[in-house]
Structure formats: C-alpha cells, structure tokens
Amino acid sequence: MARTQQMGEEQVLTPGGLRPKSQVHLVEPGHSLRMTNGRVQKIHPSGAMVADLGEIPSRPGPGPLMPRNVFPPEAIRPALGSGWIAYAYWSNNTGHPISSFSTTWVVPPVPATQSGQTIFLFNGIQNSTMIYQPVLQWGPSAAGGGNYWSVASWYADGQNGQAFHTTLVRVNVGQTLIGIMTLTGQSASGFTYNCEFQGIANTSLPIQNVQQLTWAAETLEAYSVQHCSDYPNCWFTAMRNIAIACGTTTPSISWTAQNAVTDCGQHCVIVSNSATEGEVDIFYAQFVAGQLLSYGDAGTPGNVSDPVVVGFGGWLDFKFLFAGANGSGANRIYAVNQNGQLLSYGDAGTPGNVSNPVVVGSGAWLEFKFVFSGRNLLGENRIYAVDQNGRLLSYGDNGTPGNVSNPVVVGSGAWLEFKFLFSGTNLTGENRIYAVDQNGRLLSYGDDGNPGNVSDPVVVGLGGWLDFKFLFAGRNGSGENRIYAVTASTL
C-alpha cells in the first residue's frame, strides 16, 4: 500500500492524492453507499445500514472538486510531476442531468521501469464535493495493487476527505475496458448512480441520494514518477467510444484539453467531440521527429494505436523507404541515404532494435526516380528502380554487403513518365508491376526476369488515375489482393 506519515497520522494514496488511512473505506461486493442528512452510510444488500461512515461536508462551488483538491504532499513529491497530469473536461450546462457516461480503452503495456510509481487512468464525473470514477491503476494504492494493472470504482472527496472503493480486480495488458457511470434514480433526496467496469465482477459501486454530478473528465493521474519510462511503455492511450447522454437528450460536447504536467511531453489531444463516439487521446510522451514507428492491426475499430518505436531518429533523412524481402525470404526494411547507399534493416519488433543496417547497395541510388520492392513472375523477391534513362531495373539481394549491383534491365523506354509505379498481385495471384501513365490509365505489367521483357502492358484501369494522391497495393482482412487509392479532391 502506498503510504507515508504526516503529522503523526498514516497517509495512504488514492485517486486525488494522499489522505488519512482512517478516511478510506472498502465497499464490499453487493453493498452500496447512501447519503442521509449529510452523512454517508454503508448499506447491506438487504437494505440494512451496516456502518455510519461520517459526514461529508459540501465544498463551495461552482468549480469541480478535482484537480484543485489533489493532495501530493511535499514529502513524497518525486523528480517528476504528480497529480492530474493530462486531462480533458466537459461541464454539463444542458439543464438535464447526465444519465450515462461511458468510455472504452485498452490496458496499456507495463512501464519499462519500476520506481514505486502509481498511475491512474479513468473517466470520471464530479461536482464541487465528490468525484465518481472507474479507475485503471498501475502500482500501489490504498485499495492494494503492485507492479500490475488492476481496476476498481471510487467515490472520493478531496484532500483529507473520505474515499470509498470497490475490491481491486487484476486485469491484463491488451484487455479492453469499458468504464461506465449511470444515473439510476432521482428524487427530492438527491441523485442515485452506479459506477462499474462493464463485465468485470465486483467493480460496481452504487451511491444513493447524492448531489448531482455535472463535470465529466478523461484523466491521467500519477504519483512517485521518477523517470519518463515509469509511464506505460507506449506513446498514448486512446480513450474512445466516449458516450454521454442526458436522458433523452444528446448533448453537444466540446472537450477542453489541459496539460498540467509536461516534463515528459505528456499531453492530451481531442480527437472527436462526438456525444456517442467521442475520443480523447492521452499521451505519455511527445512524438520525436524522425522515429520509425511500428503498428499492429487487430482488425477492430480504433485498435491501431500505441506504436512501438523500433527506430530512434534520423529516418526523415532518407529519400526512399520501403519494405520488402531479400533473396533468402527474410523480411527487410530498405532505405536510401543521402550518400546514395541502399541500406537493409531487420526488425525484431522490440523498441529501438532497427539500427546497424547492412549496406547492400553502394553508389548512385539517389539518382533513381522510383525505388520499390516486388516479386517477378517466377516468385523471386526483387528490388526495382527507374534510372535517369527511363529504364526499369531489377535487382536481387542476397543479404551481404554491397551485393545489390549489376541489375537486369527488364524494361526499356519511358518509365520516367509515370506518376505512380508500384508492385502488387492481381486477383488470380500473379505478381504484377502497376503504373499510371500520362493519360491517367492504370497499366499492369508482368516480369519473367529476362532482359527487356517488361512491355506490352494490360490497361486494367481506364482514365482518372492521375487524380489520386496515394496509390498502392495490399491485401484486405479476407486475404484478397487489392489496389488502394486516396482521392486528392472530390471526383
């Protein structure tokens, strides 16, 4: 449990900072909290009161409780900032109470270093007195925890005030979380809500007869961070599918980003103000220009995020950069540097591993107009280039230094005149070279590997192909070979 001593009283860490241990209460599964005459009571599932937990005095408004009442005392402040680090907020001024507030996010990778830090990530709703929040936690808190991710629901006052939480439940990296707060009742006695992680048992924290909660937030909160690497080992977490309802009214949402601590480049980006599919991205660090990022795609909406930085710096200096495979079938990343060398990199998938390239081609690679990889009709992996004489050259790469030389001139003529030139595979599985000519036609060539054989194209696309900004080949999720294009203007 994260704790310290202050003025002779044991202090423990919760969302909102430190508070006396005696002020933190577990709400067991099935139990709820009820406000009666300004005092909070713990209620048994049978409806009987099992404990009077004392008074919760109202704090003056009109502003929200947090972050102005976060309490990281000087005694434990680390080298880097604590409290609410980066967050976005929206205040409900619709005249209708918020009836539902949900957010979806994915449990991020574990931090690269461990310094006893605690990280909280949550969507929350509050007023000037209390905050209500389903919280993802890394590290220790008054609820428990350690060097792993876990979740609990919290209802908390500010500094030195009371805090209530459910049982802490361990979760896994990559697990999808849905934190949701729902208005379940309203009467002259106040408002009744429930907070939980959808589908995760023992995270429900019902509260009854409380003041209306009006101020919504998406938040990164942190304590005892000593190094930037104490944050999750990824660039950012996407707080997505944000849905806020005010009864039968769909409110007009306008999130406001706040970057309270930026010592590691932490910041918040508003991606969408949609009331049904909003998104706020919370960054743990600043993107650095010239890094090589690697993304995976699980095929689900919004999943392509949190890249691995596989190459540190300098990648903006290359003239050409493309993926391919060498003659041995090894997957490679090829680049042409400012000295005209062709470099070949391997990627093991770990941060910063893409370095120390093999210089497979020496000389005048800067002089080419196009350089790309593909396969010929024999299934051989090739590197194609168009030289200043308009010839299409085909190179093999056996992976050894300087071996990429002595090309086969597979195409003679006007290859400089094309706007786009790339390799792909047609629907019958044939390896092809595609080009867009000055008439806007999409041409398809085959290469049998012999000198001068690449000629007499099939015109597979009639007109309009010059209007695209990007054009490339790939495969969709069903494994079908496709040609993708991005329009530069309305067609």
pLDDT along the chain (491 residues), means of 10: 57 92 96 94 95 84 65 59 94 95 95 94 94 97 97 89 96 96 95 98 97 96 93 91 94 96 93 95 85 81 72 89 93 95 92 88 92 95 95 95 92 91 94 95 94 91 90 86 81 45
Answer yes or no: do 32 and 120 share one domain.
yes
Answer yes or no: do 273 and 354 share one domain.
no
Distance CA 205, CA 184 (A): 12
- The pTM of the full predicted model, rounded to 2 decimals, is 0.68
Answer yes or no: do 331 and 439 share one domain.
yes
Q: To which residue do tokens 């090309």 refer? A: 407
Q: How many structural domains compose the chain? A: 2
Answer yes or no: do 230 and 317 share one domain.
no
CA of residue 348 relative to chain centroid, distance: 21
pLDDT of residue 296: 81
Q: To which residue do tokens 């107009």 refer? A: 369
The answer to whether 11 touches 2, Cβ cutoff 8 Å, is no
Three-state secondary structure call for residue 383 = strand
Answer yes or no: do 180 and 211 share one domain.
yes
Q: What would the two tokens of residue 379 be?
A: 């299934």
Distance CA 189, CA 243 (A): 27
- Give me the domain span that covers residue 352: 292-487
Bridge partners of 186?
191
Answer yes or no: do 346 and 264 share one domain.
no
Three-state secondary structure call for residue 2 = coil
CATH number reported for the structural domain that contains residue 343 in this entry = 2.115.10.10
Answer yes or no: do 277 and 297 share one domain.
no
Distance CA 477, CA 470 (A): 20
The Cα-based distances of 405 to 117, 341, 361 in angstroms read 54, 11, 7
pLDDT of residue 2: 52
Three-state secondary structure call for residue 304 = coil
Answer yes or no: do 53 and 181 share one domain.
yes
pLDDT of residue 309: 81
Residue-level length of the chain: 491
Q: Where are the alpha helices (DSSP H) in 237-396?
A: none
Q: Residue 68 gets which letter from DSSP? A: T
The radius of gyration of the chain's CA atoms, rounded to the nearest angstrom, is: 29
> Which secondary-structure segment (H or E) carries 482?
strand 481-487
* b/e per residue 37-70 (b: at least 16 CB within 10 A): eeebbbbeeeeeeeeebeebeebeeeebbbbebb
> Pick from 240, 259, 283: which residue ends a domain?
283
Answer yes or no: do 315 and 250 share one domain.
no
> Pick from 283, 300, 334: which residue ends a domain?
283
Answer yes or no: do 278 and 353 share one domain.
no
> Pick from 260, 283, 306: which residue ends a domain?
283
pLDDT of residue 302: 64
Answer yes or no: do 315 and 464 share one domain.
yes
Q: To which residue do tokens 């680390």 refer? A: 78
Answer yes or no: do 249 and 144 share one domain.
yes
